A and B are shown apart, each in its own frame.
Chain A
Amino acid sequence: MSNAATEAAAPARRPPGIARVLRRTPARIGLAITIVFLVLTVAAGWLAPYDPYDQDLSAALSPPSADHWFGADQYGRDMLSRVMHGTRTALLAVVVADGIALVAGCAMGLVAGFFGGRVDAVVMRLVDVLLAFPYLLLALIIVAALGPGLTNSMIAIGIVYTPQYARLIRGQVLAVRNADYVRAARALGAARTRIMLRHVLPNSFTPILVMATLQAGSVIVETAGLSFLGLGAQPPSPDWGALLADGQSYFLTAWWIATFPGLAIFVVVVGFNLLGDALRDFADPRRTIR
C-alpha cells in the first residue's frame, strides 16, 4: 500500500519504469537469484569443482566437507558439481516447456479471440477439457502415452500449461479487437494474420512476459516432480528431481544427497516468483498491494 502511495505522489513524468520496480528489495533478490541461475547454466562446466559424472568410490556417501561442500553421493560423485550442472536441465525445461505452452497457447488464444463465433467455441471448449484435469494428472497421462524421459516430460508440462496462455491471450485479443488502431489496420486492408501478429500480439507482450516468468518457477518444480517420480530425466543425469529421487533411497544415512538439490529448486523458484511479482507490478501498478 505504502509503495503504491509513494508511487502515485511522485512526480508523474512517466509511469513506474522497469528500473524503479527493480529497485525494490524483493525484486532485487529475485533478479539476483535469476542471474546467478543463468550464469551457472552457462558456466557450470568451469565453476564446478568436479566433473558431475566422475565417480570416486573412496568418497562415497561422504558428508559435506571442505573437499565436497555439498557432500558426495553413493558413487562418490560431488553433489555441488551435480547441483550446479542441474541448472542446465532446469533451464532447458523452462525454455522447452514454457516455450511450447507459450507458442501453442498464444496461437490458440489469438485464433479463438480474433475469429470468435464457432472457432472460439471449439477452441475454448478444448481449453475447458484440458483444465478439467488436475495439472499433474494430465502430465502423467501424456507421459504415460509418450513414454518416460526428459524430453517427453517437458512436452507434457508444456501441454499442461497451454490452456492458461490461451485464456490470457484470448482475453487480450477481445480487449483490443475493436481498438482504433486495429480498425485502422483493417480499414487499410491488412490481412487477418498480419493484424494478429503485428498489432495484437506485440500489444500483449507485457502480460505474456509476466506469465512466462511466473510459470518458469512452476515449470521447474513440475519437471523436477516428474523426474522425482521416475518419469522424467533418468539417472545418471544431474537433474534436480532425479537427484532428489536418488537421495530418497539414502536419506536416513546421507541426508545431503536429497537436501541440496531440493534447496536449489526452492531458491530458484523463489527467485522466479519474486521477479515475476515485480514484473507484474510493473505491468499493472494498481496491483501493487497484492
Chain B
Amino acid sequence: MSRYTISRLGQLVLVLIGVSIVVFFTMHVLPGDVATLLLGERATAAQLADLRHQLGLDQPIWMQYLDFAAQAVRGDLGTSLRSNHPALDDVWNAFPVTFQLALTSLVIAVVIGVPLGVLAGTRPGGWLDNAVLTLTLFGVSMPIFWLGLMLLLLFGAWLGWLPIGGLMPTGLDVPRVTGMTVLDSLIALRPDLLWVSLQYLALPAITLATIPLAMITRITRSEMLATAGLDHVRTARAKGMPERRVIVRHILRNALIPVVTVIGLQLGLLLSGAVLTETIFALPGLGRLMVDSILSRDYPVVQAGALFIAFVFVLVNLLVDLSYALLDPRIRRA
C-alpha cells in the first residue's frame, strides 16, 4: 500500500467520524424532543422523564454520542419505531433497489454521454455540437421529478409500452438472492422475469440518468477541446497520423482522466436523485425509506439511513480518488 493510499484512508476515518457527529447532533440537538415525538403531545411529565431515562436522553450529550458511536461500530443503530426491525436491517433491505437503479443509470449515462461528448468535442461549432450543448443545458436544468412523471405519462399511460411504476408486478416475485431484481432473475435463470424486471427498471433508470448524462457529456466535450490544443496532438498530426487515431490515442485517452473523476462524482447526484425517482415510480428503495421515515418521524431509521448513505458516498469517493492515482502516475508520486 502506498503512502498516498494510507493517508487517504486516514482522512476517510476522520470524515466518517465527522459524518457520524453531524448526523447524531442534527437528530438530537435541533428543536423537537424525541420523547414527546414518541409519546405524543398529551404525555405526562413523568412519562416523558421515564422514557428519556430509558433512552439515555437524560445523559450529557457527549455521553449519548459515545454510546451511540460504540453501538454503531458494532452495527447496532437502534430499532425502527414503525417496523420494530433493527433500523440497519430496514436500510440494508432497501439498499439493493437503490443500488440497481443508480448503477443502471450510471451505465446509461456513461455509455451515451462519453461518445456524445467525443462527437461534439471533435467538431466544435458544428450542428451536432450545438444540438448537444442545447440538450445538455436542458438536461442539467431538468427537475427530474417532473421528467419522470412526463415519461410515465407518455410511455406508461398514453403509449402503454412500459409499466407505470413499481418494482415488479404484484403476484410476480423474483426469488430474492441479492435483492436486485435484474440480477436475481439471471441467477434464477428466468428470462421471462428478466424481461419484466428490465421493463420496470427502464423508465426510472432513464429518468435518473438525465442529469449525470448531461454532465458527463459536457465534461467529455470540454476535455476533448482542451486536450486537442496540446502540443503532443499537434505533433501527432504533423507526422501524418490518421485523424481517427489522433482522436482515440492522443486526445481521448488524455481527456478521459478527468472524465473518470466526474463519473465518480455523479454518485452523490444519483443517490440524491434516487430519493425523487423512487417516489415517482413507487420503488421500495433507500430514498423512499428515508422520506417515509422522516414523515412518520421514525428517527432511528433516518439516522441509520443517513449514516449508511454517507458512508457509501465517502467510500466510493475514496475508490475514485485511488483509481485516479492508478490512471495518472503523477498523482501517485506527488
Contacts and interface: CB of A to CB of B under 8 A. Distances in A.
Interface residues of A, number: 50
B272 A132 contact: no
A270 B30 CA distance: 36
12 contacts: A126-B18, A132-B310, A133-B313, A134-B309, A142-B30, A145-B31, A147-B31, A221-B141, A225-B145, A244-B146, A266-B143, A290-B222
Contact of A270 (B141, B152, B157, B276): B141
Contact of B19 (A132, A145, A252): A132
B149 A145 contact: no
Contacts of B293: 144
Interface string B70-111: 000000000000000000000000000000000000000000
A1 B121 CA distance: 11
Contact of A228 (B26, B138, B269, B276): B276
Interface in A123-155: 125-126, 128-130, 132-137, 140-148
A148 B295 contact: yes
Nearest to B272: A136
Given A136-B272, A225-B276, A248-B280, A289 B309 contact: no
A241 B143 CA distance: 10
B146 A266 contact: yes
Interface residues of B, number: 55
Given A133-B19, A231-B294, A258-B149, A266 B275 contact: no
Given A128-B15, A273-B140, A262 B150 contact: yes
B142 interface: yes
Interface of A: 1-2, 125-126, 128-130, 132-137, 140-148, 217, 221, 224-225, 228-231, 241, 244, 247-248, 251-252, 255, 258-259, 261-263, 265-266, 269-270, 273-274, 289-290
- Chain A interface main SS type: helix
B272 A266 contact: no
B14 interface: yes
B272 A134 contact: yes
A225 B275 CA distance: 10
B56 interface: no
Nearest to A217: B141
A273 B15 contact: no
Contacts of B21: 129
